[in-house]
Amino acid sequence: MRDERQEPRCVFTSPRLRGEVGWRASARDPGEGGSPRAESVERAPHPNPLRASFARLDPAKSGARERTFVAGSLLMSSEKFISIEGIAKRYPGAGGGEIAVFENLWLSMGRGEFGCVIGHSGCGKTTVLNILAGLDTPSEGTVIVDGQAIEGTSLDRAVIFQSHALLPWRTVLGNVAYAVTSKWRNWDRAKVKAHARTFIDLVGLTGAEHKRPSELSGGMKQRVGIARALSITPKIMLMDEPFSALDALTRGTLQDEVRRICLETGQTAFMITHDVDEAIYLADKIFLMTNGPGAVLAEIVENPLPKDRGRIDLHRHPYYYAVRNHIVDFLVSRSKTFATDVPGHDPRHVPLVKIGKPELAIAAVSDAPHDESKQASRPGQART
Ligand SMILES: Nc1ncnc2c1ncn2[C@@H]1O[C@H](COP(=O)(O)OP(=O)(O)O)[C@@H](O)[C@H]1O
Ligand SMILES: [Mg+2]
């Protein structure tokens, strides 16, 4: 018997999706009247034209499925701890004109949120992060963090780069202590060392304090980078593909560490990644950027997985493939065709995509007459 409380909020029709997780996509017409799901979609405020545009797309071609789209500004955290307001970045073009990497980019995040940006190479992700860090300036627009417009770099914003960028002549302790001294210049040596050791311990490097970068593995170097960033207790942690140069095992361990630390400390984090799974594991919100030049923030995907998700069993969660496929579909096709597919896109009201709960069942079994013994053996059942 179907539990009405678990009525799906969107219907998935992709055979790929069904094949991957053994769910049965509902055959109901999305327009079928009277279902609570249809009502919930209709009731959702969606002044943005994007939803209508998606309805016009051919789902088979674009991978688009029915989804609940609501205006981002209505559902996002009301507190704008980070507020990127209409920034653009332009460079001189070959013919004497200008090339805009991106234009009129608006994005906001609440305090304690973890945001991941995903987009193809060259769309301007690093530029956005550098502007947030104060390492670069926008050609137009402003970035406000905790009520203050950014003007240059600040110890309130720590950056973890893809390459660890450690001082090679300093030890682990020396590298972290250097950052601590930069922030608290009047602290005595003992206090600086004690503070640095706390963060070295937090990233699991106790025992390696006196090693120099040349004596550390790639993962250990990146841990030092994380400890150094956290040691100055920044308002925001900015990470530009921090784990992309690491082997899969080390990457996974560091993802766990970063997630644990962010959850424990309520750290606000903004991260660029190419790894969809990394984004789904770490982020509360995933920002999808279209291809450049002239890139736009197309969607904000709200992570539907629970806060207590684990990296190991991420893929078992019933929402996992839905959210993953949505992002992969975007990267594979919609990131390239977005400008023509969605001509009315409003960069100030970027749609917040909430992927709802699909109906869990297997087509072959659920279409057959009810049979308790078969029902009990369905792999999908355990996930409800
Ligand atoms: N100094 C520069 N002059 C001209 N173009 C630049 C300069 N710096 C970056 N770009 C261009 O800006 C675009 C965005 O770069 P970047 O932010 O590094 O992209 P991403 O991190 O998404 O790969 C790229 O196409 C790059 O060629
Ligand atoms: Mg980059």
- Rg over alpha carbons for the chain, rounded to the nearest Å, is 23
Tell how strand 114-118 and strand 157-160 pair up: unpaired
In angstroms, what is the span from residue 75 Cα to ligand 2's centroid?
Answer: 29
Q: Which ligand is closest to the CA of 123, given by its number?
A: 1
Q: Burial letters for 294-311: b for 16+ Cβ neighbours within 10 Å, e otherwise?
A: ebbbbbbbbbbbeeebeb
Q: CA 384, CA 378: separation in Å to the nearest integer?
A: 11
Which residues have CB less than 5 Å away from ligand 2 (the ion)? 126
pLDDT of residue 129: 97
Residue 281: how many other CB atoms lie within 10 Å: 22
Q: Is 280 exposed, middle or buried (0-12, 13-18, 19+ CB in 10 A)?
A: buried
Tell which atom from ligand 1 comes closest to the C-alpha of 123: 22
Q: 268-272 and 114-118: which strand pairing? A: parallel
Whole-number Å distance, alpha carbon 291 to ligand 1 midpoint, is 12
* β-pair type (285-289, 82-92): unpaired
For residue 3, how far is its CA from the centre of ligand 1 (angstroms)? 51
Expressed in angstroms and rounded, the spacing between residue 71 Cα and the centre of ligand 1 is 30
- The answer, yes or no, to whether the previous bond of 8 is cis (omega within 30 of 0) is no
Burial of 377 (0-12, 13-18, 19+ CB in 10 A): exposed
Per-residue pLDDT of the chain (384 residues; tens, 9 = 90+): 444 344 333 333 333 333 333 222 333 333 323 332 322 222 233 333 223 333 333 333 333 333 433 333 333 445 799 999 999 999 998 888 899 999 999 999 999 999 999 999 999 999 999 999 999 999 999 999 999 999 999 999 999 988 878 999 999 999 999 999 999 999 999 999 999 999 999 889 999 999 999 999 999 999 999 999 999 999 999 999 999 888 898 889 889 989 998 998 899 999 999 999 999 999 999 999 999 899 999 999 999 999 999 999 999 999 999 999 999 999 999 999 999 999 999 999 999 999 876 544 444 444 444 444 443 333 333 332
Give DSSP secondary structure letters for 5-62: GG--SS----HHHHHHH-PPPP-S-TT-TT-HHHHHHHHS---STHHHHHHHS-HHHH
Q: What angle do CA 242, 226, 146 make, to 5 degrees?
A: 90
Q: 141-171 burial, b if ≥16 CB within 10 A, otherwise e?
A: bebebeeeebeeebebbbbbbbebebeeeeb
Interatomic CA distance for residues 357 and 262, integer angstroms: 27
* Domain coordinates in residue numbering, the chain: 82-154+240-383, 163-233
Q: Whose CA is nearest to atom 13 of ligand 1?
A: 122
- Look at domain 82-154+240-383 and name its CATH class: alpha beta
| Nearest residue by C-alpha to atom 6 in ligand 1 | 91
Whose CA is closest to atom 14 on ligand 1?
Answer: 124
The protein residue with its alpha carbon nearest to ligand 1, atom 2, reads 91
- 109 DSSP β-pair partners: 82
- Kindly report the pTM of this predicted structure: 0.76
Q: Which distant-in-sequence residues (6+ apart) come within 8 Å of 43 by Cβ? A: none
Query: Residue 130 CA: which ligand is closest?
Result: 1
Strand partners, 114: 269
pLDDT at 368: 42
Q: Which ligand is nearest to the CA of 136?
A: 1
Q: How far is the CA of 275 from the centre of ligand 1 (A)?
A: 20
Instruction: Identify the residue whose C-alpha is closest to ligand 1 atom 17.
Output: 124
Closest ligand 1 atom to the C-alpha of 130? 17
pLDDT given for residue 358 in this prediction:
57
Cα Dmax for the chain = 76
Query: Pocket residues for ligand 1 (CB within 6 Å)?
Result: 91, 101, 119, 121-127, 292
Q: Say whether 270 sits in a helix, a strand or coil.
A: strand
Could you tell me the distance, in angstroms and rounded to a whole number, from the CA of residue 34 to the centre of ligand 2? 47
Ligand 1 center from residue 126 Cα (angstroms): 8
3-state helix, strand, coil in the chain (%, to 5): 40, 20, 45
In angstroms, the CA 253 to CA 216 distance is 16
Identify the three-state secondary structure at position 185: coil
Dihedral sign (CA 67, 276, 284, 359)? positive
Q: Render 80-140 in DSSP notation, one character per residue.
A: -SEEEEEEEEEEE-TTSSEEEEEEEEEEEE-TT-EEEEE--TTSSHHHHHHHHHTSS--SE
Pocket mutation for ligand 1, best pick of 98, 101, 117, 128 (most atoms within 8 Å of C-beta)? 101
Q: How far is the CA of 236 from the centre of ligand 2 (A)?
A: 18
Give CA–CA dist 371/288, Å, rounded.
Answer: 43
Nearest CA to ligand 1 atom 18: 126
Q: Is 112 exposed, middle or buried (0-12, 13-18, 19+ CB in 10 A)?
A: middle
